[in-house]
Structure 1
């Protein structure tokens, strides 16, 4: 490449890479090495601290750039001190500078690994430096614009919005050390210019591919945008042309011809290289000859010098080269930071600063002025939205509630809600949501609204939600209040298997230019931060993975003394933690607008075809009043649809979920036994442990069960008081009789947000709107001023109702503390609906229940193996995968003893069970076999034409590959050809090369020798390897005699043991869980043929046995039995591996 290693002692280079100064100098010794403080830093002539990365040779030259121009410590320390530590809301006031100065070329972390500072830190540094205005010009986007605007508004700093566009990209940006593209820096000159820039970025993104937008100078010029064009950094069109015969004059004249002489400025930046002065004089001469202004910048990539090292690490990760490998490309100076006006005056002509200030002033505007409106709602022509919505409510309200005379309470509620909706101007919004749910119903797609929308009777009668807000007495003001700003949130759960149909309907119905999905900014978490930090330091991939896997935390790093991760890796990871890495897509959020969304925020192609995503996340969209519609995929709705279909196909009974009786005593009795494997929301370890204690007997109890096992109630100490009061162990008490109305249904313990609001209404005399304001004031962005005002209003209202001052203060404090963890009651009831329905299917149609879950994988807490083991324990017959009978997916099949493929062992039904003729069993599907995939449908389709006669016939007619065919043989699916598993495997390799059109009989192998038949344990291993599901019993069942001989107990032994019994249990690990609320405790779930056992492993135990506990799929656990009523756990003292090679993998949860 022509670059070489620096001629600098490694000790000095190391200090520089660590951001430390050299002894006796602010940055470097002077040129003669005298130790006097230098005024410059040695860099290569190509280094300017700019884009991706600076591609320079460090320490090659030493150059003075004049007083105050050093990239070392300058005489003004403001940005490094106050600036970098400040955030929005606490940032410094604008510093009064003696020299006006505006920085108009700035990259943030939203240049994705090419900027080290977040927008808030940049703004704080800019304010501390006394800038008159600050721009944000991230690469190819406006990702950080909203956060930037918010932070700048907090400190009163004028904002300029722009982007540095990559012209002529030949490859995707990630992974390139120096992407081959020309950089054009475009500033929006006005709100209209902003719209034009956003649309130009959108069009380039949609023309190209993800991470490779296609811009051209000619197409940008054709936009005729109200923009200011800066000639940019070393990769700008002008500086790239300085070596041309005319010194770049033609390139500059081309820019002015394309964009206009009043819309181009020549950008000057000092790189700390020997030719700085010469280059600046040349650029100034070019500007004069072309009649253009010059303006100064620093091509900022980090706010302060302290973040220079961070910028280098990010350059390493972006280019996929370690810091050592990238050493010759990294900038040698920290010049790409925010400077003060005084510093800049020592570096550039005054006119260059004045021009920057003028351009910044001309281009400043408030971003909120770019907000769009909601599109027109779908409705009959010439019909007003309010008229149409009232008509729908009148029609559908009669279906739900009968006439006004029959149910005046419900109609009074509907009228109140409808008036509020009309008053707020939300009719169109409700009609759009109604249109989406109507599409789902028309297409037979299961869906239901959740969240605060379930507080609305209007949503219920329109079919948006499945919860009767009137019946359950839900508080509408939690959903809508008169002073609400912005549209409400209505989240729609859609069966995950068909959600894409709904998303594409929205695109097609409202227009692809007016609909897009919301972004999810993927930020560094502990594991990814450790992995990339290790990569930058040159660790091998295997070591990177080992370091990453050693951390079981999500958003925080392990302590250095307790972690095998080296301290330098943790130090870098700490810097990366929480910062943006790349753009993802929100789980279901879509935005709709009355104009092209690309004019408001740039749109990109999503990874999934036929989808587009905006460059802002949900919070940014909300701040800009872009209305988000959450279309969320829910696996349980898919499973329920499958269950309904299975029962209908195999029994002729069509079950309407809405008609399922929700007071079936047998269903509740099953839940009280914690027999809830696979049941929605109540199948986790904590839920199973709580069910026998709470003992739900009503539908509302299920809502409480859903809400109780959440981080908030656990941290708030609500769980045990509620259960003890419910069990009659403690008396139900209230701080004041006025609280009984709001808290009676939860035994005096607040659990729901709606109860908070009702407490404020009943005790403090609040209106519904007041109560909602209180809820919002206590939210994540708590306002102390609003809290103080509402607290005084509450005390006054309470005393008017006879509540003494101390009690009123205590109640308000309870409300304030509770607000941090309260769960929406409406959300809990929506989920309770699914809890009950899934439990009802488990009790009344267990085979369909399990098959439905298997057809909907991946979902839920348990693996298919655990779900099938649970079905087996419930005496459901399990039929193996069979090429003759299996459908593509797992299905139901009536057991016919004596019929080929219907031999069912006792183990396949459960201990002591027998399969009756005509009983519905579960037949494993072809798609459960590894590597079969889409061939499952091909096999079934071919079989309908004619049965397969041999392995060769199967291979010839389907063209199935060798790996899939061998998996079918291993699974026993080819037994119908009078072959055992080993014989089928022998044949599979030989005939797998057959394909349609091959002459019959020309396969290399057409018969198998007599081979030893697999024993029971080998068969179990074969099933686990091929399908992950064992048909004839559980793996430990085959080992039981050996395990007992070693003194190892079963889960059944543990369940029967007395409290405090010391015992050793051997079983398979199904999952591990380390909740944030559990004080470092890890819960390990063990399973054998008898059932499951929860193991409690303390933080100390996990530290001693971490490798065994986290890597082994079968364990021998010694500990003490703990009993809490019917709940049994094993408090672990020792963990050792169960030495058996099983191809199973535990699921790990937080």
Structure 2
């Protein structure tokens, strides 16, 4: 009899999860109810699943509100009715229209209006009365519309405690004090499931209302199939047999490209994979992914296919991935097998500026009715919500700051107010807070997608489902991951620049050749990898050096052991030692040797963990799959993962494994949770790393410009400019007659772009090069001012950063002249002039700029000096007793060095003390790394950018030297002459 029930998906309003909602109803003997969350259908499919488990009849619906006002409730009579409701809401969401006072024509939907609205009711429309409104019927003639009256008992909360939580949620939503939340802004305390018989009792004088309500609900049937559904588009060609034939044809043709036409091993594996793909009805998924790849390749877009899909030779032959599963001995079953409990997906990465076009193609190719982006659901878990609760309570900012400061945790422990805040936070911690958009998931549906959800229109401007990836999987959707990353932008831009600057067209996908190139492998081994995807960070460069990594397979392993799971377990150090001393490896158990010989007994990949759980712990394939998913964080809770601990130990004991060995094996397994890569994932990253290496080695100038124009990478912008200069480029300051909005290149001359000038308006960044392109170079300052209509402040910025040096005049002279031109607010004019009247010119004394002044201008406006180095700005000429090239000769000695700060990393040691790792450049421009222990270092050892005097002991780890810092301090720089 409850036709207006709400869950937590009535965001910042309802308090009960779907499961709690159903359990509460079951406890009261309720046999059917309608879920009607406010302006969304997020929970409808989940609601149906939970109700069916508990033998309660589920009915779907939506409550429509405008400006907090209840307009009407839509109740679906069946699946078609749910689609009508979703379509109605979707239309208003996507076209950003206000909900109307009255909905349009529905064929399979009942509409319930709140009592008090005077209107002509259609055959499917009703009036809902709350029990506290029944008194208004007293002495009224109800004959004419008594068949149109329904019992309306809204449900928002479970009890009085949750009602208080509801008030806090409303306060947070409205950004107001708890005491300022008006009654119309929240539900009533009586909006709960009533005790059995109470609803009937309250309507006892109007039994016909209960009869009407029962009749309406009895006529509803959510005729969705039960069980696991497969909702993705079922075919690519329209016919499954044609799909099978097409996939075989494309895979065979792709084999010729990848392996030639005589590789029997490849052909055999392709046939084996195709058999499984056809058996599991996955042809359409492969063909649609291939269609997306082919479109992007026709457009000249560069992509990386990664994840477990790289285990498939069919995917490799279709050029979905560039990872050769034969070379790496990757087994297809890791991607797709008959025992797998959930469908796999391909992760396809594009450059950040090309992904949206690929997504747009998918929508146009497969139809907007059948395509949508995947949503996400953020929760209140973030501790920042503590601040929101404090604001609702009316606490002063200083007190709230104290509650959110980790340093005050001990002091807060006994604070009554803090305890109250944390109690509220614990109640709302897992509640959904707001709907958002998934990083890249796309759904392509066989049926119109609005059978299963209404669609939102987030800032991206593409229709998005109202539930997340977990719900998509539960409903029966396999997502297509269309992602973006900066590393691809670097590669894509560099290839384009090589074509423009050197007239060479590169096939960047011929990675097998790159892997055999000794020049690339020597660069890899030396750790000279700045700008290269995934291998440029200090930790990765150290690892490459320690491993003497000079080949693809070692790089694949390095890409995985750098992850926290391996590093934190101590196994990274073990792996490096074993790599150099394979004859000294002591395996924990013969099973470990049999399964992990390739990785010297260390579990490096997810596949290794799965192998050990099966062969050492006696677990079955299904448990191994749960374990893998638990490790990758794809379950909302770790319950499934934790259950495996007991199974593993019991299985190992049954196989007679020694208990102490089992405990250590499990410690290594569990350290991987949430962090490790699949081997195919590491292999995909390593492919992209080699592509970057190839470009950095043979086309270093174009590559580094590509890095700069795609928002850099791990380091600050100045370091990539430093690398650009090291590569042989003549790097020039921005120039109005040579620069474009971004960094530009002509031969070995590179001009920094206008984008990098701090404070320069976006309009001018685009206008200056466009005006020059259409009307020729700027002739002089006055010409520039008139043609761009630039203001005085913006002109001063350009002069100070040297962008008008083409005039041959000093900055000081130009500043004098620009004040003469614009100081009296004369409006520049770029229209054609009948008579050109030159501005008055004055004879000025020689006004000279010093290199030191220029460097300070650049430091202020670009973030780094280009005319001089930071070493040139030091007050001292001392550059240290030792340089990087001689560091290895001073092992065990205490040395003094001067280093230019590059970056730092703070870590917490096992004794709960902090330690720091620093990266610096010496005066020759070479990298060195430092370690700072808390017993030698103040609480905040680094003082930002600049040069430091470092006293420390030279140590070495697997051939990689670094400095353990005893003392260090930031060195003073010359005074800014402009400020003197």
TM-score, scaled to structure 1:
0.73
User: Could you tell me which residue of structure 1 aligns to residue 170 of structure 2?
Assistant: 315
Residue of structure 1 aligned with 2:828, choices 970, 994, 1014: 994
Which residue of 316, 325, 334 maps to 1:478?
334
Q: Is 1:704 matched with 2:557?
A: yes
Deviates more, 1:1083-1092 or 1:464-473: 1083-1092
Q: 1:133 to 1:759 in 2, by over 3 A?
A: same
Query: How far apart are 1:578 and its partner, in Å?
Result: 4.9
| CA displacement at 1:1101 relative to structure 2 | 11
Q: Does the Cα contact within 8 Å between 2:619 and 2:647 map onto a contact in 1?
A: no
Aligned to 2:98: 214
Determine the C-alpha separation between the residues in 2 that align with 1:124 and 1:510: 40
Q: Give the deviation of 1:494 after TM superposition.
A: 1.3
Residue from 143, 155, 170 that aligns with 1:300: 155
Match of 1:966 among 785, 796, 801: 796
Whole-angstrom distance in 2 between the partners of 1:484 and 1:951: 70
Aligned residue for 1:400?
Answer: 258
1:844 maps onto 2:698 in alignment: yes
SS in 2 for 1:517: strand
Give distance in 2, aligned partners of 1:985 and 1:792.
78
Matched residues in 1 for 2:692 and 2:968: separation?
37
Q: Which residue among 530, 543, 561 is the counterpart of 1:690? A: 543
Unaligned runs of 5+ in 2: none
> What are the within-5 Å matches in structure 2 for residues 608-627 of structure 1?
608-609=460-461, 611-627=462-478
Establish whether residue 113 from structure 1 lines up as the match of residue 1 from structure 2: no
For 2:607 and 2:362, the matched residues in 1 are separated by 32
Residues in 2 aligned to 1:997 and 1:878: alpha-carbon distance in whole angstroms: 35
CA contact (8 A) 1:774 1:787 kept: yes
Alignment match of 1:648 (pick from 499, 502, 506): 499
User: Does the 8 Å CA contact 2:626/2:640 hold for their aligned counterparts?
Assistant: no
Corresponding position of 1:227 = 109
1:13-412 residue pairs with structure 2 within 5 A?
102-152=1-51, 157-166=56-65, 169=66, 179=67, 181-208=69-96, 213-216=97-100, 218=102, 220-224=103-107, 226-231=108-113, 236=114, 238-239=115-116, 241=117, 250-251=118-119, 254=120, 256-257=121-122, 259-260=123-124, 264=126, 266-270=128-132, 278-279=135-136, 281=137, 289-297=145-153, 299-326=154-181, 334-341=189-196, 344=199, 349=204, 351=207, 363=220, 365=222, 373-375=231-233, 377-379=235-237, 384-403=242-261, 406-412=262-268
Map 1:675-1074 to 2 at 5 A.
675-728=528-581, 731-737=584-590, 739-759=592-612, 772=625, 775=628, 780=635, 783=640, 813=666, 817=670, 820=673, 821-857=675-711, 859-872=712-725, 876-894=729-747, 920-930=748-758, 931-933=760-762, 935-944=764-773, 945-960=775-790, 964-988=794-818, 990-991=821-822, 993-997=827-831, 999=833, 1013-1035=848-870, 1037-1041=872-876, 1068=901, 1070=903
Show CA shifts across 1:681-725 (max 9, x none).
Answer: 122343234333223121011111111122322344422221221
Corresponding residue number in structure 2 for 1:92: none
Provide the secondary structure at the position in 1 that maps to 2:745. strand
Q: Alpha carbons of 1:1037 and 1:449: their partners in 2 closer, same or farther (altered >3 Å)?
A: same
Q: 1:653 to 1:363 in 2, by over 3 A?
A: same
Q: How many residues align?
A: 954
> Does the Cα contact within 8 Å between 1:532 and 1:573 map onto a contact in 2?
no
Is residue 372–residue 600 contact of structure 1 (8 Å, CA) maintained in 2?
A: no
**Could you list the per-position Cα deviations for residues 590-646 of structure 1 after superposition, in whole angstroms to 9, with x for gaps in the alignment?**
11112322232111222134x221111122112111231111112111111111222
Q: Secondary structure at the match of 1:197?
A: helix
Of 194-203 and 767-776, deviating more is 767-776
Deviation at 1:883, TM superposition (A): 1.6
Q: How far 1:848 moved relative to its partner?
A: 1.9
Q: CA deviation at 1:937?
A: 4.4
Greater CA drift, 571-580 or 517-526: 571-580
1:528–1:548 CA contact under 8 A, matched in 2: no
Q: Does 1:588 align with 2:440?
A: yes
User: Which structure 2 residues correspond to residues 506-517 of structure 1 after superposition, within 5 A?
Assistant: 506-517=362-373
Q: Structure 1: state its 5+ residue gaps.
A: 1-101, 170-178, 242-249, 271-275, 895-919, 1143-1150
CA distance in 2, matches of 1:572, 1:684: 41
Per-residue deviation, 1:850: 1.4
Calculate the aligned-residue CA RMSD, in Å: 4.6
Q: Cα offset for 1:468?
A: 0.8
| CA deviation after TM superposition for structure 1 residue 426, in Å | 1.2
Residues 979, 154 of structure 1: alpha-carbon distance in 2 compared, 3 angstrom cutoff: farther
For the 8 Å contact 2:729–2:750, the answer to whether it is kept is yes
Q: Deviations over 1:325-366 (max 9, x none)?
A: 546876696434444336656765495778767765654647
Which secondary structure does the structure 2 equivalent of 1:105 belong to?
Answer: strand
The CA deviation at 1:464 is: 0.7
Q: What is the rounded CA distance, in whole Å, between the counterparts of 2:606 and 2:589 in structure 1? A: 19
Native 8 Å contact 1:585 1:606 kept in 2: yes
Displacement, 1:978? 2.2
Alpha-carbon deviation of 1:826? Answer: 0.2
Name the CA shift for 1:423/1:842 in 2 (closer, same or farther; >3 Å): same
Kindly provide the CA deviation profile for residues 930-986 of structure 1, in whole angstroms up to 9, marking residues without a partner as x. 435354444334324322112232232234455543332232111111233344445
In 2: Cα distance, 1:869 partner to 1:214 partner? 54
Aligned CA distance change for structure 1 residues 652 and 571 (closer, same or farther; 3 Å): same
Q: Deviations over 1:30-56 (max 9, x none)?
A: xxxxxxxxxxxxxxxxxxxxxxxxxxx
- On the 8 A contact 2:41/2:454 being kept in 1, the answer is yes
After the TM superposition, which of the residue ranges 543-552 and 127-136 deviates more from structure 2?
A: 543-552
Post-superposition shift, 1:375? 3.1
* 8 Å Cα contact 1:982/1:1011 also seen in 2: no
8 Å contact from structure 1 (residues 681, 835) kept in 2: yes
Change (3 A) 1:443 1:1008: farther
